[in-house]
Structure formats: C-alpha cells, structure tokens
Structure 1
C-alpha cells in the first residue's frame, strides 16, 4: 500500500493507495472518523474497508483529512473536509481515468462526509456508511439520495444510537431504482472493536451482491 501525497485545498494531503486489478478497475474512497477525536486514515474500520475494496479489485484510496497526520491545514467543521474528499476523489480518478464507477465508504464523521460527497458526484454508484451519526449531524441533504448503499450500525452504539440512524434511513427518499439498506450488527459498539469480522463480513456480503449485477447501480436499478 504505497504512500501518496497529493495537493489539497489547504496544502498537501497524505494518503495510502492500492492499484486495482485489471485494465479498468472501479475506484473506492475511504473516509475516516472525526479529526478532533483521534480519527485518522489508520483507524481500523477504515483500514479494513480499504483492504476489502482492494481484495475486490478496486483501486482504493484512504487519506488523512486536513490537519491530521501529515495533511496540511486545520479542521473546518466538515466543509473543508468535504472539499478534501472531493479533491481525493479527483486524484483517484486521475490515477484511474477509465474507471467505470466509484464507491465511497465512511466511518462515523466520515460517513457523513461521504454521503454529502455522493450527492455531488454522479459517478458514485454505491456506498458503505458505518456508524452514521444521525443524532449528531443533519442528513436531510439526501433529498433524494442518488445512489444505493448500506448503512451498518452497532446494536450497542452509545455514541450514535442505532434507532436514530434507522429512522434517518427510513425517512430518506431515494431516486427511482435506488435503495438504502440498514443493517445492525448484534453486540457491536460504535467502534466495532470486538465485532470487526462481523462488520467486514456484512460489508463484503453487500458489496458482492451489488457487484454481481451488470448495472453498477445494482439490482434496484430500473
């Protein structure tokens, strides 16, 4: 997993990149949790999701938001971090100019950023959002959500209660032929510390189901 440095809105951004398999692999961007609460691209959830996409043949990129690790700048309440994510996706696509589609995966704060990104980028065909903090951030911008995806939550999440995220998913309208699934992992907390295998198994099962269909939008596409 080679280290990469690329230009961001506030200076350099530090990342890790894995080239995908085949001539024109799809791309996947992985977004880490809150920068002010210890979130980095080396968070275990992000690391495992990055490896999952790499195993599935994607060109995968995880990176540190501004002000984290060797990425320059300062925390910017989510607005700057969304700009960082958009720049990272641009960089990933420059490395893979013929990528047929993109996915985004995010954990906690990164899930919030990722779901904002997919509203702006039609090439994002799918998403995996882990511990989406519906009690902390407004997700009403998903109006309607243009991509199918899965929201995975821990049953015992004390940071973001699963019921609030379930309600957010149920209330979110989607474009025709798109569907957001909601899955609860029994016994898991916000960080999936003792349930990492279960989280990745659920993510992989969803990804496999989607990739089995010719249309990148998946089985829900009409």
Structure 2
C-alpha cells in the first residue's frame, strides 16, 4: 500500500494506492468524510471501502483532501475538494490507462463530493455512497443520476437522519435506466462503530453481484 503524492490544484495531495497487476484491472477512487470534523483518508469507513475494492481486483486510491494530513491547501467548502477529487481521478487513470471500468465511493461529505464527480465524469460506471448527507447538502444535481449504485445508511445516524436519505433514494429510484440498491443497517450510527463487519458484508455482497452481472462493465481478475 504505497504512499503516493498527487499534483492537486492547490499543491500536493497525499494518498495511499493499491495497484492491481492485471493490465485492465478496474479502478476505484475513495473519498473521505468532512475535513473540518476530523475526516481523513484513514477513517475506518473509508479504509473498509478501500479494502472491499482491493478484494475485488481493483486498483484503488484513497487520498486526503486539501489541508488534511500532508495535503497542501485549505478547506474550500466543497468546491476545492471536488477539484481535488477530479485531479486524483486523473492521476488514477494516468497509471491505469487500460482500466476496464471506473468506480467511485465516498463516506458522508465524501459521498456528496463523489456524487458531484459522478455527474462530471461519464467514464464512472458505478458508485457506493455511505451516509450521504442529504439533510445538509442539495443533491438535486443528480438529474438524472448517470449510474447505478449502492447507498448504505444507519437507521440510528445522529448526523444524517435516515429519512432524509430515504427521500433521496426515492427520487433517484424513480429515474429510468439505473438501479439504486438501498441498504439500511439496524442500530448503526453515523460512524458504524459496532456494525463495521456488517457494513463490510454489504460491500462484498453488492460488489460481487454488480461485477458478476456485468452491469458495470467491470470484471475482477
């Protein structure tokens, strides 16, 4: 899991990268929770997402947004962080020119950034959003949402109430041509403390099904 330095819009971005040796391995980008509330690329949910994709044969990158860890710059209310994510995806694609597919995954604030990037990058085939902050941010830009994906949410989330996410899922599910798999974890709070194993199981189950179905054009080697 080598450390990598990416040239971001405001200087270097610190990352961790796993490279799959298959010449056409799919790629996946992981996005951290809110930088101003202790979020980093080493958050347990992000780490769990990262390794779920590694197990499926992806080349996977997670990184710190500007101003976090060794990443340069200062917090920019989401606009700059979206640019950081785009630059990181550019880097990931540059070292995997023959990738068979591209996925994005994010937790909380990172899920909001990830969904915005999804709208701007048509090469993204699938997504996983964990506790997307639908009560704090406007997700109406997903009109229409271009890809199918998985949304995971705890029913005891004290930061992002489950009904707000359910409302977002209802809107997305009414769109044609995509499927949103919505899974609610009973008893789970925002950080999935005692439900991390259950979260991991849902990730493995969804990725196994999605990749085997061929819906996302990615096949793990």
- Band of TM-score, shorter chain: over 0.9
Q: Using the alignment, how far apart are the partners of 1:154 and 1:214 within structure 2?
A: 28
Per-residue deviation, residues 36-90 of structure 1 (Å, max 9, x unmatched): 0000000010011111111110000000000000000000000000000000000
Look up the match of 1:38. 38
Look up the match of 1:67. 67
Alignment of 1:33-182 (within 5 A): 33-172=33-172, 176-182=176-182
Q: Using the alignment, how far apart are the partners of 1:36 and 1:123 within structure 2?
A: 30
Aligned pairs, number = 218
3-state SS, counterpart of residue 119 of structure 2: helix
Superposition deviation, residue 21 in structure 1: 4.3
Runs of 4 or more consecutive aligned structure 1 residues displaced over 2 Å after TM superposition: 172-177
Q: Using the alignment, how far apart are the partners of 1:91 and 1:137 within structure 2?
A: 27
TM-score (structure 1 length as normaliser): 0.95
* RMSD (Å), alpha carbons: 1.3
Q: Using the alignment, how far apart are the partners of 2:215 and 2:167 within structure 1?
A: 28
Superposition deviation, residue 215 in structure 1: 3.9
Unaligned runs of 5+ in 1: none
Relative contact order (C-alpha < 8 Å, sep 6+): which is higher? Answer: 2
Q: Using the alignment, how far apart are the partners of 1:19 and 1:175 within structure 2?
A: 35
Unaligned runs of 5+ in 2: none
TM-score (structure 2 length as normaliser): 0.95
